[in-house]
Structure 1
Amino acid sequence: MWRYFGDNRMFLIGPRPAVLQNMLAELGQGVLDHSVFFSDTAARVKRSLPPIFKTVYGSDDDNTGQQVRDFHHEIKGDMPSGGRYHALDPDTYFWAHATFVEQVLYFADTFVKRLSDEEKQQIYLESKTWYRRYGVSERPMPADYDEFERYWDHMMERVMIAHPTAKYGVGYVTKGFPRPKGVSPLAWRVVAPVFNPMAAFLTTGGLPPRARVLLGLPWSDRQERRYQRFAALCRLRPVNWAWDRLPMRLRYNGYAQAGYARA
């Protein structure tokens, strides 16, 4: 888990975990009702990710897991179709965690190396240690990687929906990315024609086929072939050899660097 979660190449999967999280109706509704995601997407990312990284790369007795959990106490409300939601409902909370676990598995297997069954099992079992640091009910947590695969397939095929929050999160695929705060209009006019197609390619290609269908994202067989060729290029041994010899500060984010330095 440490080897892959803080790897700076993770951007290659696009916003896969965030989009899939919001395709669970209860989680998407919580974001819609309580988050600054719509008014300032970057601010939500900057607030949410650091404590999650500190949960993973912290020690058993010094991590931010319970802080992350406590952020969610007041995230609750009514579902449009009836019923209530709460971010700390075990099924809802575990789904959010599951998307991060699957993110690591997908990223490593797609853009670094083909993982063996033993490596997938190891990553999943380590993710259970990560989840326990939150102090949330373990009831929905699969026992091993095989069970996790079945859980994941069930969620994708039977539970996920095209919630408005998820649709908003991938709207730039067809409409273009809005100009980030702090970037001048002139600079964005120069950058956008290159950035937008690349962002759309990585975002759409980085989603499961079922999610693309539900969200109505355009994706052709030709684009799929291009995506797989790109992924295969990233997995080449010379590419990984060169990456592994870069300085740590270039390969990993600061939270991972701190964890490795302490350990």
Structure 2
Amino acid sequence: MSELAQRPAPAEPAPDALPLGPQSLVWRWFGDNRMYLIGPRPAVLQNMLADLGQGVYDHSTFFADTAERLRRTIPPIFNTVYGSEDQNAGTQVRDFHHHVRGDLPGTDGKRYHALDPDTYFWAHATFVEQVLYFADTFVKRLTDSEKEQIYLESKTWYRRYGVSDRPMPATYAEFEQYWDHMMEQVLVAHPSAKYGVGYVTKGFPRPKAVHPLVWRLVAPVFNPLAAFLTTGGLPPRARHLLQLPWTDRQERRYQRFAAFWRSAPVNWLWDRLPMRVRYSGYAVKGYARS
């Protein structure tokens, strides 16, 4: 046998990204209805990037009609994740943002644009981190390999938007470094973000669809719960920048609350509920199609 024949075959290179689908962890957890437990974490963090927050401030209906903004935004994002590789709403989401551009106040003429790759990737990064934070906090402690898998799947997700992936870190370890840099050096208490958490201290405004009398009965229970989930669900750095009140005692309560949801009996019970209860309708349709 020749020396060449005795040499081992070269190792396969590690995949640059992993596919989305029924076996993916992003599918398993992004559409899980327990996601409500993290509060508005991704939306608040998105708006703490000055360029993105200013785009929301200048162009969005978020302030005038929050419910309408959510109804318009949420479906295509879910359909980007739970669509097929060939049929998904990624470019539709991207095209919503072509007109979102303008001047950034206090920067001597600096312009912002929602489709700037650094801005667009930050919005996506908050959704990736949403999956990681939710699963690790309220479902199970994630292993390093699970975190890496989620991140590699998220690269496939991002590429469906058709926006430059220049700012996208190559690995989960690099994503962690990117995240820490954004939290510590880049994010600010933009008015859009402060508006989004204003109800923590002022109370949540009555939704238009809810009768005033009904809201009067519901608000005393809903507002403290919303404040607890919103503030507890934010990173400490974000709470500091937004000046949100949070004590050590509240932190201990939040950690006990999270541990309850991670417990084996709760997970056992949740996994035996009907799928339409456990998952958003978009996720249910995705699994059914696949």
> What is the TM-score normalised by the length of structure 2?
0.90
- The alignment covers a number of residue pairs equal to 263
Runs (5+) with no aligned partner, structure 1: none
1:188 to 215, 233, 254: 215
Alignment partner, residue 38 of structure 1 = 63
Which ranges of 4 or more aligned residues in structure 1 deviate by more than 3 Å? Answer: none
Aligned partners of 2:113, 2:202: CA distance in 1, in Å? Answer: 32
After superposition, residues 88-167 of structure 1 pair within 5 angstroms as 88-167=115-194
SS of equivalent to 1:77 = strand
Q: 3-state SS of the aligned residue for 1:192?
A: helix
What is the aligned partner in structure 2 of residue 58 from structure 1?
Answer: 83
Instruction: Show the counterpart of 1:260.
Output: 287
Q: Does 1:19 align with 2:44?
A: yes
- The percent of aligned pairs where both chains have the same amino acid is 80
Amino acid at match of 1:158: Q
Q: Superposed, which structure 2 residues align to 1:196-211 within 5 Å?
A: 196-211=223-238
Provide the alpha-carbon RMSD of the alignment: 0.4
Once the 2 structures are TM-superposed, how far is the Cα of residue 42 of structure 1 from its aligned partner?
1.1
One-letter identity of the residue aligned with 1:73: H
1:7 matches 2:27? no
Unaligned runs of 5+ in 2: 1-25
SS of 2:98 mapped into structure 1: coil
**Larger gyration radius, structure 1 or structure 2:** 2
What is the alpha-carbon distance in structure 1 between the residues aligned to residue 34 and residue 262 of structure 2? 12
Deviations 1:196-243 (A, max 9, x none): 000000000000000000000000000000000000000001100100
The TM-score, its normalising length taken from structure 1, stands at 1.00
Q: Which has the higher helix share?
A: 1
Deviations 1:78-132 (A, max 9, x none): 0112300000000000000000000000000000000000000000000000000
For the residues of structure 2 that align with 1:30 and 1:105, how far apart are their CA atoms?
Answer: 26
Q: Does 1:73 align with 2:87?
A: no
